[in-house]
């Protein structure tokens, strides 16, 4: 086991009085893609959103426990949340490009973080991000068109490019394919495979085949608890917990 | 089964027909209104002139010219001649000489505005002898119809043939300017704060309810507020577009806040998430993404609020904008009238000549309103974002 990029210890999340996540501990490494699976409502998204503090934007949401990014407490006083979100990018369930040009979508992050000295450098960053997201060839002649004019799958890859453009260390993906058709899904899965190792990737999915295809580590959640966490192949062929077995054999969920 | 289908289609047709009927009815009423306005108002934009032969020296002073014009009228049309020409006829002569200096010192015939009694007589009302005289003059070809440029460039006055709308128009323009400069930024900032940053709680709820109630307060109450705060407490100048604009800004503010909040609410939350997700601060997320997306809606709502303010009379009467002002304002603090108040004042005049001026002023006000609404539609289409 190599040094973990993110370590979470005893993380619990409350929405008002309601506890959505109970004392979850997990290590996330850069070289693996980590998948979160579990029945709907079990707290996968909630947990994922702790890593870039997106839960901060929800009124009444509260997080206890400790999450470290490279040993720094992300809920600590010296952690700037804007800086954190530049280091931990996120791709959402529904593709949500800005209603601006394709170029502007990708350039926005680098621009607000001051990553480019001049236009040439910004152009280079945009091209690199779009290339890594596997979208460059499809859009290089129409960079000034609106991001919302792309197809659903292209929009989602544009969102991935937007996340990549600020050169994050971690990319969180919350069911990135749930709104896409199978062909677009396959492209995103390919892309995840290519990005593995460069970024620590955490993907939430309700699709077990997808988890099996793209991830090397899988965490199974149930009713706000982490039931089992281990190598993907191990978890799917030889689950230790009874609940995991029930879930992957399709007895519920 | 078949019967139910038939009934369903019949119901559908009935519904569509009644919808169509409603639209046709409202268009008809609107068209009738516009047509009757245009029919009685077009005379306000033209004036009738009577040919006046005269010979005035180039060196004549204003007083000498006035006398010369009066004498020329008597020479041409007898003892009644002076009653035929407008009091300001000599100004037309002066302007004609200024425009073409070779006219002075020679015998020329200049058409000068008729008096309002003659203008009424030309339309067939008034004392019978005058009507007969008017008909004779018309038959002799002495009367001609000209565009009344003075109506578009002058201000209020006592002689209906010499009044203009420009003073009130300029007053309305200045007032609207003050209103928009105050109400738009304050309203939008308040809407953004309430929608995006204010902590939810009893206070926010209370503020929300108060704003909704303020939008429903009768406008004359805002006039009273303006009177007691801006005039009596702050001592700002009476009858000025500054105070009028501030009063109307108070009235428009809640409308803009409400329109702004609903426009901001209509922006999909996923856009905020996207911006925050790449590390934008909350203010950046709003300024770069939420506000541009909400702007068309905010502007449409604001312009509708402004249009309402443009047509307001009551609150402006309270702060003294009903004064009789004969020169167009040259700034936001000089006394002035506004279009709806001018219409109100003229409609109150007994003199017959003011009727057509009132209608003409209404046409100007409607044109102003139409231009503003067209602006709103243009802005909405120009900046609207399709998701
Ligand atoms: N904004 C919220 N406010 C209140 N409760 C929430 C909110 N978001 C999620 N929850 C609750 O937290 C639990 C976990 O939700 P979530 O993390 O979205 O589950 P998952 O992504 O695994 O489907 C659910 O019971 C859900 O009802
Ligand atoms: Mg979820």
pLDDT digits (tens, 9 = 90+) for A93-118: 999 999 999 999 999 999 999 988 89
Coil, helix or strand for A68? strand
Mean pLDDT calculated for residue range B309-336: 88
Please indicate whether, in this complex, the C-beta atoms of B274 and A85 are within 8 angstroms of each other. no
Share of chain A residues as helix, strand and coil, in percent rounded to the nearest 5: 40, 25, 35
Q: Answer whether A52 sits within 8 Å of B272, measured CB to CB.
A: no
Of A13, A14, A15, A92, the one to substitute when testing ligand 1's pocket (max ligand atoms within 8 A of C-beta) is A15
Residues of B in contact with A99 (CB under 8 A): 271, 293, 385-387
A54 touches chain B (CB under 8 A): yes
Given strand A33-37, what is the order of strands in its sheet?
Answer: A88-91, A170-174, A200-204, A33-37, A217-222, A225-231
| pLDDT > 60? residue A133 | yes
Q: How far is the CA of A73 from the centre of ligand 2 (A)?
A: 24
CA distance to partner chain A, nearest, from residue B305 (Å): 28
If you average pLDDT over every residue of chain A, what do you get?
92
Residues B210-253 have pLDDT tens digits of 999 999 999 999 999 999 999 999 989 888 999 999 999 999 99
> What average pLDDT does the segment B108-135 reach?
84
Q: Determine the residue of chain A that is closest to B288 in CA distance.
A: A108
**pLDDT tens digits along B261-305:** 999 999 999 999 999 999 999 999 999 999 999 998 898 889 889
Which domains are present in chain B? 51-146 (no CATH), 166-383 (1.10.3720.10)
Render A160-206 in DSSP notation, one character per residue: HHHHHHT--SEEEEESTTTTS-HHHHHHHHHHHHHHBTTBEEEEE-S
Rounded Cα gap, residues B342 and B352, in angstroms:
16
Are B271 and A98 within 8 A, CB to CB?
yes
Indicate the burial class of A155 (C-beta count within 10 angstroms; 0-12, 13-18, 19 or more). buried
* Interface touch A83/B268, C-beta < 8 Å: no
**Is any atom of ligand 1 closer than 6 Å to the C-beta of A46?**
yes
pLDDT value of residue A2: 59
Q: Give the nearest ligand 1 atom to A18 CA.
A: 5
| 3-state class (DSSP) for residue A126 | helix
- Flag if A148 and B387 touch (Cβ within 8 Å): yes
Tell me, yes or no, if A110 comes closer than 8 A to chain B by beta carbon. Answer: no
With CB atoms and an 8 Å threshold, state whether A166 touches B279: yes
Task: Give the Å distance between the CA of B201 and the centre of ligand 1.
Answer: 22
Q: What percent of chain B has pLDDT over 90?
A: 42
In the sheet with A61-69, reading across from the earlier edge strand, the strands are A18-28, A6-15, A61-69, A72-73
Q: In Å, how far is A83's CA from the nearest CA of chain B?
A: 7
Q: B306 and B252 in contact (C-beta within 8 Å)? A: yes
Gap from B264 CA to chain A (nearest CA, Å): 15
Res B387: pLDDT: 57
Inform me whether the C-beta atom of residue A92 falls under 8 Å from chain B C-beta atoms: yes
Which residues fall within 8 angstroms of residue B223, CB to CB, at 6 or more apart? B247, B314, B315, B316, B317, B318, B319
Q: A147 pLDDT exceeds 80? A: yes
Q: Tell me how far apart the alpha carbons of residues B25 and A181 are, in angstroms, rounded to a whole number.
A: 49
**Chain-centroid distance, C-alpha B25:** 26
Nearest residue (by CA) to ligand 1, atom 12, is A20
- Whether A253 has a pLDDT exceeding 60, the answer reads no
**What separation in angstroms does the CA of B87 have from each of A35, A117, B76?**
92, 73, 17
Q: Which ligand is nearest to the CA of A224?
A: 1
Residue B370 · residue B208 · CB < 8 Å? no
Say if ligand 1 is within 6 A of residue A15 CB.
Answer: yes
CB–CB of B225/B250 below 8 Å? yes
- Flag if B270 and A98 touch (Cβ within 8 Å): no
**A81 vs A76: CA distance, rounded Å:** 10
What pLDDT, on a 0 to 100 scale, did the predictor assign at position B99?
82
CA–CA separation, A37 and A168 (whole Å)? 24
pLDDT tens for A7-18 read: 999 999 999 999
End-to-end Cα separation, chain A, in angstroms: 31
Asked if residues A12 and A22 have their Cβ atoms less than 8 Å apart, the reply is: yes
Secondary structure (3-state) at A241: coil
Helix axes B62-77, B89-99, angle to 10 degrees: 110
A41 lines ligand 1 (CB under 6 A): yes
- Whether A46 and A55 have beta carbons less than 8 Å apart is answered as yes
Q: Select the more confidently predicted residue: A161 or B97.
A: A161
Question: Is A169 in the B-facing interface, judged by CB distances under 8 Å?
Answer: no
Give CA–CA dist B3/B117, Å, rounded: 72
B293 to chain A, closest Cα gap in Å: 8
B268 and B387 Cβ atoms separated by less than 8 Å: yes
Could you please report the per-residue DSSP string of B337-350? --HHHHHHHHHT--
């Amino acid at each position: 086991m190599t040094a973990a990029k993110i370590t979470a210890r005893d993380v619990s999340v409350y929405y008002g009085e309601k506890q959505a996540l109970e004392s979850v501990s997990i290590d996330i490494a850069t070289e693996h893609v980590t998948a979160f699976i579990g029945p709907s409502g079990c707290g996968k998204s909630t947990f994922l959103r702790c890593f870039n503090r997106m839960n901060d934007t929800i009124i009444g949401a509260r997080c206890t426990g400790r999450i470290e990014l490279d040993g720094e407490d992300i809920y600590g006083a010296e952690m700037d949340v804007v800086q954190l979100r530049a280091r931990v990018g996120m791709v959402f369930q529904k593709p949500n490009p800005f209603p601006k040009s394709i170029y502007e979508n990708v350039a926005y992050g680098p621009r607000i973080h001051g990553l480019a000295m001049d236009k040439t450098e910004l152009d280079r960053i945009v091209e690199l991000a779009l290339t890594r997201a596997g979208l460059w060839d499809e859009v290089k002649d129409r960079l000034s068109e609106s991001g919302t004019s792309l197809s659903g799958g292209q929009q989602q890859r544009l969102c991935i490019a937007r996340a990549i453009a600020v050169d994050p260390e971690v990319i969180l993906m919350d069911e990135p394919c749930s709104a896409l058709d199978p062909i677009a899904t396959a492209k995103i899965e390919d892309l995840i495979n290519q990005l593995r190792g460069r970024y620590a990737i955490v993907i939430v999915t309700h699709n077990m085949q997808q988890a099996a295809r793209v991830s090397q580590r899988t965490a199974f959640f149930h009713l706000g608890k982490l039931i089992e966490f281990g190598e993907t192949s191990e978890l799917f062929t030889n689950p230790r917990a009874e609940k995991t077995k029930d879930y992957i054999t399709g007895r519920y969920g | 089964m078949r019967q139910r289908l038939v009934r369903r289609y019949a119901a559908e047709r009935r519904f569509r027909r009644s919808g169509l009927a409603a639209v046709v009815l409202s268009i008809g009423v609107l068209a009738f209104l516009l047509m009757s306005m245009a029919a009685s108002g077009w005379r306000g934009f033209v004036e009738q002139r009577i040919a006046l032969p005269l010979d005035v020296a180039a060196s004549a002073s204003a007083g000498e010219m006035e006398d010369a014009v009066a004498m020329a009228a008597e020479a041409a049309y007898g003892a009644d001649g002076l009653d035929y020409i407008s009091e300001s006829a000599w100004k037309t002569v002066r302007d004609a000489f200024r425009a073409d200096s070779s006219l002075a010192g020679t015998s020329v015939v200049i058409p000068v505005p008729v008096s309002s009694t003659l203008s009424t007589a030309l339309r067939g009302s008034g004392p019978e002898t005058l009507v007969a005289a008017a008909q004779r003059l018309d038959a002799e070809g002495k009367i001609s119809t000209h565009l009344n440029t003075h109506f578009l460039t002058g201000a209020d006055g006592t002689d209906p043939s010499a009044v203009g709308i420009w003073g009130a128009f300029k007053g309305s323009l200045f007032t609207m300017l003050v209103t928009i400069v105050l109400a738009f930024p304050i309203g939008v900032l308040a809407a953004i704060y309430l929608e995006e940053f204010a902590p939810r709680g009893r206070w926010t709820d209370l503020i929300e309810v108060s704003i909704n109630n303020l939008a429903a307060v009768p406008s004359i109450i805002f006039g009273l507020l303006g009177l007691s705060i801006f005039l009596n407490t702050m001592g700002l100048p009476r009858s000025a577009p500054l105070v009028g604009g501030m009063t109307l800004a108070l009235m428009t503010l809640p409308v803009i806040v409400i329109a702004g909040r609903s426009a901001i609410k209509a922006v999909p939350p996923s856009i905020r998430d996207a911006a925050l997700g790449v590390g934008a601060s909350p203010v950046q997320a709003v300024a770069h993404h939420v506000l541009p997306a909400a702007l068309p809606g905010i502007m449409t709502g604001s312009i509708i609020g402004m249009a309402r303010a443009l047509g307001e009379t009551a609150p402006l009467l309270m702060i003294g904008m009903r004064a009789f002002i004969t020169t167009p304002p040259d700034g936001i603090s000089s006394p002035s009238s506004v279009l709806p108040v001018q219409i109100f004042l003229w409609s109150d005049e007994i003199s017959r000549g003011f009727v057509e001026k009132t209608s003409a002023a209404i046409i100007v006000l409607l044109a102003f309103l139409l231009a503003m609404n067209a602006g709103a539609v243009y802005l909405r289409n120009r900046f609207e974002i399709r998701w």
